[in-house]
């Protein structure tokens, strides 16, 4: 798949994940076989005002490339200026978020609110394309709600289409037919997104919609190895098993080390509470692991817990 001059060596990419898709997580997903990774969304105004927390989100590493950085906002000039900053920081592409359903974003006319303002959305895209030296991509939803499906109308640049409407948020079922409609309507690469959790899901989306690539988001939370599984299935038709407990421990250790290097010991330990719980989903004794990781008060306690889990995997009581 090509995005402008950028060529992807694969068909499965990591979606932007707010609060999750930071540098350590992206590195894990690239290691597992994601053809491209996208950052968590950043406020264009946060970048322009040099807000420390927003600028920290620009942390990058050559090992994660190709990297797309996602921006949100509703002012064309501000989005264009922010896209220049992102490109200068080293991003390989700039992604414009027109799909976020979060109320705090929507009430400021950002994210999926722009689906109701196609002219403003197009003005933002045009301003960014003109200003930014890197490829500009756009992530949208099928529409605002079932009565306002307008993905085809606003498909003007390289797209990722999430098959849900804004009204669905992350519930219900993604309607892939909306992705297929956009694929048929435009002559640019379209990535499909929504309800892909396995190799068979990815193959079915590619076949049913004709999209150029598949974007995986929530299914990668606690399962960065999902990219290995999907790639293997697309190549061989064989489904790989879920990793063993010792393998999950290795993923958790690497994730913790990356978070510690980026954010410090305390923040890494606290953030690993949710990540470790996700790593153990579906494993016997997962509830007890979740309870115990939430009681770890020091890094030493957390690492000791991982050692214990690796040596004696928990069993159902």
Calculate Rg over the CA atoms of the chain: 20
Token output for 185: 């309507």
Q: What is the per-residue pLDDT for 199?
A: 97
CATH 3.20.20.70 residue spans of the chain: 2-236
Per-10-residue mean pLDDT of the chain, 317 residues long, equals 86 94 98 97 95 94 96 95 97 90 82 83 91 90 60 55 48 72 83 92 95 94 98 98 95 98 97 97 93 96 95 56
CATH 3.50.30.40 matches 2-236: no
The tens digit of pLDDT for each residue in 172-209 reads 566 788 888 888 888 788 889 888 999 999 999 999 99
Q: Which one from 29, 100, 132, 296 is the annotated catalytic residue?
A: 100
Q: Which tokens in the block code for residue 161?
A: 């289409």
pLDDT value, residue 163? 45
CATH 1.10.1200 intervals, the chain: 245-311
Residue partners of 54: CB distance under 8 A and separation at least 6: 42, 43, 46, 47
Q: What is the pLDDT of residue 107?
A: 81
Query: Does 100 participate in catalysis according to the annotation?
Result: yes
CATH number at 245-311: 1.10.1200
Q: Answer whether 164's CB lies under 8 Å from 141's CB.
A: yes
Tell which residue, 210, 222, 194, has the closest CA to residue 283.
Answer: 222
Residue 192 φ/ψ, nearest 5 degrees: -100, 145
- Pairing type for strands 213-216 and 67-72 reads unpaired
pLDDT at 158: 44
| pLDDT for 317 | 37
DSSP 8-state secondary structure symbol assigned to residue 149: B
What does the pLDDT look like over 57-87, one tens digit per residue? 999 999 999 999 999 999 999 999 999 999 9
C-alpha span between 194 and 176 (Å, rounded) = 8
Which structure tokens are listed for 91?
């991003």
For position 166, what pLDDT does the model report? 45
């Amino acid at each position: 798949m090509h995005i402008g001059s950028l060529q992807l060596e694969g068909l499965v990419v990591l979606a932007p994940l707010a609060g999750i898709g930071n540098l350590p997580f992206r590195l894990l997903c690239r290691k597992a076989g994601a053809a491209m990774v996208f950052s968590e969304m950043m406020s264009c105004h946060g970048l322009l005002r040099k807000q420390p927390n927003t600028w920290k989100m620009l942390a990058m590493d050559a090992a994660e490339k190709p990297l797309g950085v996602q921006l949100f906002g509703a002012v064309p000039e501000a989005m264009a200026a922010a896209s220049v900053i992102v490109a200068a920081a080293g991003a390989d592409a700039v992604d414009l978020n027109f799909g976020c359903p979060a109320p705090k974003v929507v009430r400021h006319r950002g994210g999926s609110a722009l689906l109701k303002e196609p002219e403003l959305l197009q003005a933002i895209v045009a301003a960014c394309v003109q200003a930014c030296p890197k490829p500009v991509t756009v992530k949208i939803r099928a529409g605002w709600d079932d009565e306002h499906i307008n993905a085809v109308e606003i498909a003007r640049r390289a797209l990722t289409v999430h098959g849900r409407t804004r009204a669905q948020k992350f519930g219900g079922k993604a309607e892939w037919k909306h992705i297929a409609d956009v694929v048929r309507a435009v002559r640019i690469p379209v990535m499909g997104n929504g309800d892909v959790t396995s190799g068979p899901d990815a193959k079915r989306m590619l076949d049913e919609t004709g999209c150029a690539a598949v974007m995986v988001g929530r299914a990668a939370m606690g399962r960065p190895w999902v990219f290995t599984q999907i790639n293997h299935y697309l190549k061989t038709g064989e489904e790989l098993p879920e990793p063993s407990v010792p393998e999950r421990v290795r993923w958790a250790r690497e994730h913790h080390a990356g978070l510690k290097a980026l954010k410090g010991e305390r923040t890494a330990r606290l953030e690993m509470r949710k990540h470790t719980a996700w790593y153990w989903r579906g494993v016997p004794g997962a509830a007890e692991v979740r309870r115990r990781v939430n009681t770890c008060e020091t890094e030493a306690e957390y690492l000791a817990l991982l050692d214990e889990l690796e040596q004696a995997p928990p069993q159902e009581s």
